[in-house]
Structure 1
Amino acid sequence: MIIGLGSDLIDIRRIERTLERHGERFVHRVFTEIERAKSDRRHERAASYAKRFAAKEACAKALGTGLSRGVFWRDMGVVNLPGGKPTMQLTGGAAARLEAIMPPGHKALVHVTITDDFPLAQAFVIIEAVADV
């Protein structure tokens, strides 16, 4: 069953300007170490960061809190499964919120899709509860 759904659309140029203005302070405040390592290797660095930013916003919406009630930027990180499929790794307040919204006897699957087509980046997050067998 679907527990949460979130989407976000962001202008990549906004992230470009933020990177130019705030640089490392911004990336260390918002992104996990894994996300920074992946995005910093990309030719289109701002687009990579923008997709991950959109995924965090979408995840916060799917959790039903936004960036409040103990859910912080770095509590949500885009990671890739061995086959390359993106998902979200939740820690801290985001993990606590996820646990709170899961029905008993279920585990969470977090589905993520991210894309960009300059000047836009977009993400969708679906949180699914599956029976824990």
Structure 2
Amino acid sequence: MIIGIGSDLIDIRRVEDTLKRFGERFTQRCFTEVERKKSDRRAARAASYAKRFAAKEACAKALGTGIRQGVVWRDMGVVNLPGGQPTMALTGAAALRLQKITPAGRHAVIHITITDDYPLAQAFVVIEALPD
């Protein structure tokens, strides 16, 4: 059962400008430590951050809250499963919201796909509730 869908498209040049203007102030505010380490190692650093930012926006839409109702950027973090597939790790208000929208007797699985083709980055998030 699908309980949430979200998508987002972002201009990588906007993230490039934000990184130049605000640097660590931006990355510390919006990204988890795991995301910062991964993105800072990339040659296409801005594209990496842009994909993760788009994933957060898409996840917030899938949760039905957007970035409000206590859900903040760092409550959602792109992490990779052992095989490399991306997914989202939720904490704080985002995790509470996921718990609230997940029907009894089911557990939530978050599927994401992220991509970029300069100057755009895109993310899709599907939240599925599977039987326990």
- Give the shorter-chain TM-score range: over 0.9
Distance 1:96 1:72 in 2: 12
d(CA) in 2 for partners of 1:5, 1:121: 18
Shift of 1:57: 0.1
Given the two structures, how large is their TM-score scaled by the length of structure 1?
A: 0.99
Pairwise CA RMSD of aligned residues? 0.2
Gaps of 5+ in 1: none
Report what 2:69 is aligned to: 69
What's the counterpart of residue 42 of structure 1? 42
Summarize the alignment of residues 51-62 of structure 1 with structure 2, pairs less than 5 Å apart. Answer: 51-62=51-62
C-alpha separation in 1, matches of 2:105 and 2:49:
35
> Mind listing any 5+ residue stretches in structure 2 that lack a counterpart?
none
Which amino acid in 2 is paired with 1:122? Answer: Q
3-state SS of 2:23 partner = helix
* Residue aligned with 1:89, SS: strand
Q: What amino acid is aligned across from residue 116 of structure 1 in structure 2?
A: D
- How much does 1:41 deviate? 0.1
1:60 is paired with a residue whose SS is: helix
Identity of aligned residues (%): 75
Which amino acid in the other structure matches residue 27 of structure 2?
V
SS of 1:88 mapped into structure 2:
strand
Distance apart, 1:6 and its partner CA: 0.1
TM-aligned CA deviation for residue 90 of structure 1: 0.2
Query: What stretches of structure 1 move > 4 A for 4+ residues in a row?
Result: none
The letter for the 1-side match of 2:31 is F
SS at match of 2:114: strand
Residue number in structure 1 paired with 2:126: 126
How many positions carry a matched residue from both structures? Answer: 132
Give me the whole-angstrom Cα distance separating, in 2, the residues matched to 1:65 and 1:45.
28
Partner of 1:109: 109
1:32 and 1:72 mapped to 2: Cα distance?
11
What is the deviation of 1:82?
0.1
The residue identity in structure 2 corresponding to 1:55 is: A
